[in-house]
Amino acid sequence: MSRHDHALPPLGGGGHDRQAELRARHDWWDQIAADPATRVLIVGHGRVAVHDGARVRMLTPAAAAGYAAREPGATRILLGRDAQGPVAAIGMPEVPDDLTGTPARTVGPVLDPTTAGLVVHALGLDNWHRTHPCCARCGAETDVVAAGHSRRCPVCRAQHFPRTDPAVIMLITDHEDRALLGHSPAWAEGRYSTLAGFVEPGESLEDAVRREVAEESAIEVGEVDYAGSQPWPFPSSLMLGFFGRALTTQIQVDNEEVTAARWFTRQELSELCRTGEIIVPVGVSISRWLIDCWHGGELTGDWADW
């Protein structure tokens, strides 16, 4: 199996129609609320309402509006339409206790692709509204417009759009096709993953891959190939996955973002994961997807706080 045999990365294909054409309508909520098939999910501060432990709780528009009425800071967001009908979300400072708010990082690995796409869409917008309530130009409090996809300043009329931070994440291989994985100081002993970092202003994605790998491991990278992307609204990233080919193999970590790094053959990684000496990310993360694409087999013992 080659690295190109895998489908899209997890969360990489949400499957719902975002219906951007409805965002200009001031009565968009009334329109979808009139459809008996409409469902509304409740999110807040990185959590989503669930029931039965792992299934996302979907409310009727009337029930969801009841919760929104109790919270002045609630934001109504149009997500669009999936195969079952219209879908919206209400973002709140916190998910109400009786709706069992669960961290999206916990429930994410067990969601189907369409539901996962709806959840990350809602969380990304909710996070942005919660952290960007004021105009960056004049400081006035802004109004939510475009069905939750924009904010407008009532004073200077500036329009603001959701923030997305591009970050590159890369599986680097050498001339022996070994994979370079690193360990962050924030992780428990034995946890290894692909290298990653944010794109800087004025920088191409390929140059960001080469710079980040060089900064964190002193490895020089030549050829860089795009692999796929994954929305990561924790709080506002877009992960851009790449495969890269190393020009050098001598590792020297920066001891800040990466405190250990090493080259792994497929056989070594399989055995170390089996014994628990090395732990790789959970399957929902694009880092694990990149590793699986390279490895081509089955790896066990992943760490789950994605």
Q: For each successive 10 residues of the chain (306 residues), what is the average pLDDT?
A: 58 83 96 97 94 87 95 94 97 93 82 90 95 96 98 98 96 98 96 98 98 98 96 91 98 97 97 95 89 92 67
Structure tokens at 142: 């802004």
pLDDT on residue 305: 56
pLDDT on residue 304: 62
pLDDT on residue 2: 43
pLDDT on residue 23: 96
Element (H, E) at 211: helix 205-217
pLDDT on residue 6: 57
Nearest to 119 by CA among 28, 7, 44, 69: 44
Q: What is the amino acid identity at position 165?
A: D
pLDDT on residue 259: 98
Nearest to 194 by CA among 175, 176, 177, 216: 216
Contacts of 56 (CB under 8 A, 6+ apart): 41, 48, 49, 50, 107, 111, 115, 118, 119
Nearest to 253 by CA among 212, 216, 213: 216
